[in-house]
């Protein structure tokens, strides 16, 4: 059984890292006013129409570990020798190595009132192969489409439409300067939500969970840190200090659909920064923030449930894009209600056809997703990352992130721990290569809580099969 003192120590260390980075006056490599950069256009210099975009072709490969030692009926043992989903390359989950156009975005932005910049607009489309397009039916989508009214630049601004929500640092930072190829595990599994259609048929899995087939008709969208709604925001400068706020009301559903549960999601973020100098995505500043996300989700068969997320974060560093420059960054989040546990394996019809007993796929919990909707279901996640500029265009990076899912249930809890080693080479001001090597581990922290010995064995065998991953990505902004 897991040592409780180690769990407390790990949480304390991660929380301390967040607190330390919040209390130190410096700046991270991506410490910018993203409300200003994303939701508004520069006054006095913005064109009515500015065409822009970026592409991110990449190559990803995993160690391709397979599962062995599964026990139980033939429908379970059939997965011995299979590669689990977490060792496959998304979003298609069909290979352990692949080239991919991860993102390909093009759009226009500018001002509708060039004389005073009272009204700005932003429109962006996505042609890449990622969660946003995959869960929308594997076709291009509009990723952003909003209008900002700078009603009173000293007090309040409004943005209406499809846009990024106020939230964690990973939700706000611009993709072209995101330092790592992949988000932290807590973000990938929790705040980057897969939306379940209310008409989805579910079956009780026990322990407060409900299983369903992850088909295109049941999983109808991907959150992408975006929602359709109204954002109220602004920022204020007081000498070197900058204070910002943002609150938003949105549908809380797929970006390609209207509201499906009659309730609205609310989002909020407060941020404080000390600005040393510079501007744009790489300005020199220090920041600390808090954020929240509250909403409700519905499956007709089981009812409506609450979703709650909140977190804190901070940053530390100086002299970015210069030899000897350094960065530190950390965040912590808590989640309650509507916790999703994706399926360990893909459905394979050729394997399923070999058995006349319980079918694989729709009737086998190894290929179904499980949603834990009640507010008593909990999870937490954290990350701390740093980077050092060897030269002005070469950066070395390190990140540790952890996600503990379903901490309220000892038998169901799974802990994801990842060390990511990274390096970036800036070919030009707007073009860079990013190389990441992720050392991944999945723990079953309380095996003795799984009373069925076959289920205990299978949980541990699946967890032990998690392998490492390499990503190489080119980012080119135009």
Domain spans of the chain? 4-477
Share of the chain above pLDDT 90, in %: 72
pLDDT confidence of residue 348: 60
Q: Please answer whether residues 335 and 295 qualify as being in contact, where contact means their C-beta atoms are separated by less than 8 angstroms.
A: no
Q: Which pLDDT score, from 0 to 100, does residue 353 have?
A: 53
Instruction: Give the residue, 8 or 393, on which the prediction is more confident.
Output: 393
CA atoms within a 13 Å half-sphere pointing along the CA-CB vector of 16 = 6
Least confident of 9-13, 85-89, 438-442, 469-473: 9-13
Sign of the alpha-carbon torsion through 96, 97, 101, 102: positive
Tokens of 292: 């929240």
Q: Is the pLDDT of residue 340 over 80?
A: yes
User: What tens digit of pLDDT does each residue of 425-478 get?
Assistant: 999 999 999 999 999 999 999 999 999 999 999 999 999 999 999 999 999 999
**pLDDT at position 126 over 90:** yes
| pLDDT band at residue 74 under the 50/70/90 scheme | confident
Mean pLDDT of 296-308: 97
pLDDT tens-digit series, residues 361-413: 444 678 889 999 999 999 999 999 999 999 999 999 999 999 999 999 999 99
Q: Inform me whether the pLDDT recorded for 358 exceeds 50.
A: no
**193 contacts: CB under 8 Å, gap ≥ 6:** 222, 223, 340
Higher local confidence (pLDDT), 437 or 173: 437
The pLDDT of residue 350: 57
Q: Which carries the bigger pLDDT value, residue 227 or residue 116?
A: 227
Place of tokens 């009272």: 118
Inter-residue contact 412 to 406 (CB < 8 Å): yes
Q: Is the pLDDT of residue 257 over 90?
A: no
> What average pLDDT does this structure show over 99-118?
93
Give residue for tokens 């062995």.
68
Q: How confident is the model at residue 311 (pLDDT cuts 50, 70, 90)?
A: very high
Residue 292 has pLDDT above 70, yes or no: yes
- Residues 418 and 146: their CA atoms lie apart, in Å, by 36
Mean pLDDT of 71-90: 90
pLDDT of residue 438: 99
* 177 or 377, greater pLDDT: 377
pLDDT-based confidence at residue 351 (cuts at 50, 70, 90): low
Query: How far apart (Å, rounded) are the C-alpha atoms in residues 182 and 31?
Result: 18
Q: How far is CA 281 from CA 27, 194, 317, 321, 323, in A?
A: 11, 29, 14, 11, 18
Confidence of residue 6 (pLDDT cuts 50, 70, 90): very low
The distance of Cα 361 from the centroid of its chain, to the nearest Å, equals 27
The topology (CATH level 3) of 4-477 is: Porin (2.40.160)
pLDDT in tens, 16-56: 444 333 333 333 334 578 899 999 998 877 789 999 999 99
Q: Which residue has the higher pLDDT, 354 or 152?
A: 152
Quote the Cα angle for 428-431-433, to 5°. 110
């Amino acid at each position: 059984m897991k040592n409780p003192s180690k769990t407390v120590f790990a949480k304390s260390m991660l929380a301390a890292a967040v607190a330390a980075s919040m209390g130190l006056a410096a700046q991270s490599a991506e410490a910018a006013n993203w409300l200003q950069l994303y939701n508004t256009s520069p006054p006095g210099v913005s064109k009515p129409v500015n065409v822009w975009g970026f592409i991110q072709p990449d190559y990803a490969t995993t160690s391709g570990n397979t599962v062995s030692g599964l026990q139980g009926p033939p429908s379970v043992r059939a997965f011995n020798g299979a590669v689990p989903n977490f060792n496959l390359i998304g979003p298609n989950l069909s290979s352990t190595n692949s080239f991919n156009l991860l993102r390909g975005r093009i759009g226009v932005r500018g001002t509708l009132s060039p004389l005073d910049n009272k009204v700005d607009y932003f429109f962006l489309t996505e042609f890449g192969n990622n969660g946003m397009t995959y869960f929308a039916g594997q076709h291009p989508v509009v990723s952003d489409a909003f209008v900002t009214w700078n009603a009173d630049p000293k007090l309040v601004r409004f943005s209406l439409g499809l846009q990024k929500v106020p939230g964690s640092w990973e939700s706000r930072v611009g993709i072209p300067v995101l330092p790592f190829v992949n988000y932290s595990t807590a973000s990938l599994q929790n705040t980057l939500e897969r939306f379940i259609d209310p008409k989805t048929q579910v079956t009780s899995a026990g322990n407060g969970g409900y299983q369903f087939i992850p088909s295109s008709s049941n999983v109808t969208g991907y959150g992408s840190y975006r929602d359709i709604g109204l954002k109220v925001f602004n920022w204020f400068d007081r000498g070197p200090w900058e204070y910002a706020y943002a609150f938003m009301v949105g549908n809380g559903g797929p970006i390609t659909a209207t509201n499906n549960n009659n309730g609205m999601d609310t989002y909020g973020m407060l941020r404080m920064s000390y600005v040393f100098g510079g501007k744009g995505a790489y300005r020199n500043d220090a920041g600390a923030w808090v954020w929240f996300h509250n909403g409700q989700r519905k499956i007709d068969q089981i009812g409506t449930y609450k979703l709650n997320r909140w977190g804190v974060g901070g940053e530390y560093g100086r002299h970015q894009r210069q030899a000897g420059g350094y960065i530190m960054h950390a965040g912590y989040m808590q989640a309650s209600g509507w916790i999703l546990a994706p399926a360990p394996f893909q459905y394979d019809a050729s394997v399923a056809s070999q058995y006349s007993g319980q079918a694989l796929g729709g009737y086998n919990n190894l290929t179904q997703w499980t949603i834990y909707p009640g507010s008593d279901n909990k999870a937490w996640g954290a990350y701390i990352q740093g980077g050092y500029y060897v030269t002005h265009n070469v950066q070395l990076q390190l990140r540790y992130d952890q996600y503990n899912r379903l901490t309220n249930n000892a038998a169901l809890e799974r802990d994801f721990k990842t060390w990511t080693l990274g390096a970036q080479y800036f070919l030009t001001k707007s073009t860079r290569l990013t190389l990441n090597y992720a050392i991944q581990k999945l723990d079953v922290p309380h095996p003795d809580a799984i009373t069925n010995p076959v289920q205990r064995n299978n949980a541990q065998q699946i967890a032990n099969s998690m392998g490492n991953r390499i990503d190489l990505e080119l980012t080119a902004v135009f």
